[in-house]
Structure 1
């Protein structure tokens, strides 16, 4: 992962991002969605800060179980993407709400098979859908964003059926919080988390006192 990565698309203001015309109104049990947006350290850290998110796991999807390892996936020849599995409380946040953050600050969805200087199919933008409803909502929102001209370039996010989610190695989990002074974290991941707090401050997790984090 390159420490000189920049994500120019993340400067699009929140006001440009509409609420999804289609959404899932799940109730009851926690739900999951698997998303790919470049380096999983970055995407994981953004969603861990979001209210309604119960947990985030970094991992791999799109390839075979035999090649679901960091060393293999870094080759760019496995079919896997670096992904995060987001577990969320549907009474607090909807799939559409997660997608708004995914497309606005978690990554730049107009970059094909890369995020900044992180280059390769393993860094592609993708939604790995586990149901037809997830596919429908994601496809509709991509079309809505393109029609609204939110970005100057077309969104290249792929929609791929989720065959399996393979958790990444233990040292990748919650990497940003555990390694705040690591160069890539400081140069790339931390600014994305800061951008989330700046743009989506009203959607951050409450702190133990009941106030929302800033």
Structure 2
């Protein structure tokens, strides 16, 4: 009996030893698996962070590019802001009443402008006045080109040629009253300016819609 007990004790000892060894082996295997899986998770996290940063960087670059394009569209090559091309002075007036109002304002400005004190200054002022009204006459003529029919425009063109001839002859005749004097040139250009102003009013009143 004693021998049998010893054999049973030895067998139980061996079984417990084997079981303990299996448990330890299983724990070690689990630890190794956890250790191996930890770097993988860290790598995935690092990869994700890198991807997020790349996408964020790309979005930032895209926004920067759009901003640069927006800045470029409102600046000239030297970095100065572009001025609007549709300023009030460049807007074409094509309405008769509005244009008559504009002509009245121009005439009012002439009336209240300070006159020169010498003949030379007066000649320069009248030459500038003539230049201003002649430029306005050309603008009116351009508006009428858009409004009138081809037949009406042909008639106006012939009439305009006759008027230019009349203007210069009338200015020459008026200046002859002061022939040889210092006022001759002044009277010539002043007559041209006055007749051109009258022509502006006439074309707007007669032809403009």
TM-score, normalised by the number of residues in structure 2: 0.19
Could you say which structure has the larger radius of gyration? 2
TM-score normalised to structure 1 length: 0.19
**Higher fraction of strand:** 1
